Structure formats: structure tokens, C-alpha cells
Amino acid sequence: MTKLLGVIAIAAVAFAVAPAQAAKHAAGGCSSANLEHTETAIENMADGDSKFVAQKEIAAAQDSLLNGKMGACGAHLNKAMRATTGK
């Protein structure tokens, strides 16, 4: 019975720590430096559909950052970066 309680306690700690680690990782992608780097890449793009998509995503990333939605910011920033490379 004691071993079972120990396993349950370890599982509870793992489930509590995993979302915090995921949020920290997602937030790392959404930084002022990354936003600035991506904005510069967008400015240097040729006009077209890819540039429009990148501009839309960077605006959404900035809005998410201002609203404290770091996961959404990271996702939009990632999409903007991919649009600058054409992938």
C-alpha cells in the first residue's frame, strides 16, 4: 500500500510539472528579440501572399503577447517565421 501511494505521489508531481515546462518552452519562443527578428525578415520579403500571411501572423503574435497569451504568441510567431522562409 505504501508503494502504491508513492507511485501516485510521483505521478501527481509529474502531471503538475509537465504543463509548467511546456508553458515555459512555448513562452521562450515569444520574445521581443524573436518578434523583432521576424519583423525584419518580413520587411525584407517581396510583396505577395506569403508576406501578407506573415504580417497577419506577426500582428496576432504581438496581440497575444500584449494579452499575456504566451502559448498563442509562440504559435503565431512560429507561423510568421515559417511564412518568411516559404515552408
- Higher pLDDT among residues 76 and 14, named by residue: 76
Task: Give the CA distances from residue 16 to residues 9, 10, 12, 37, 47, in Å, rounded to whole numbers and listed in that order.
Answer: 11, 10, 6, 33, 46
For position 30, what pLDDT does the model report?
83
Which pTM was predicted? 0.65
Cα(37)–Cα(70) distance, integer angstroms = 17
Asked if residue 58 has pLDDT above 80, the reply is yes
Grid-cell match 503577447, residue found: 65
DSSP state letter for 47: S
- CA-wise closest residue to 61 among 51, 53, 72: 72
pLDDT of residue 22: 42
Q: Please give the residue that has the higher pLDDT: either 53 or 85.
A: 53
Condensed to tens digits (0 to 9), the pLDDT of residues 18-27 reads 444 444 444 4
Region of 30 (left: φ > 0; alpha: ψ -120 to 50; beta: rest) is beta
